[in-house]
Amino acid sequence: MYQVPDQTGRRFVVTGANSGTGREATRWLAAAGAEVVMAVRCTRWSTTPAS
């Protein structure tokens, strides 16, 4: 579907990373080798997505 180029050595902060578009962006970036900081409103609702 989407092809994300190699992101090794890059760092991203993704807001709303516990659900929806933010979660998907986190998965795609992590799978491409990026270091991803997940910014969520409440850590109780957050989960670490599988890469």
* Residuewise pLDDT in 10s, the chain (51 residues): 678 999 999 999 999 888 889 989 999 999 999 999 988 887 676 555 544
pLDDT of residue 17: 86
pLDDT of residue 45: 62
pLDDT of residue 50: 46
pLDDT of residue 46: 59
The alpha carbon torsion through 2, 5, 10, 12 (nearest 10 deg) reads: -10
Q: Tell me the whole-structure pTM to 2 decimals.
A: 0.76
Give CA 38 to chain center in angstroms: 6
**What are φ and ψ of residue 18, in 5° steps?**
-90, -10
CB 49 within 8 A of CB 26: yes
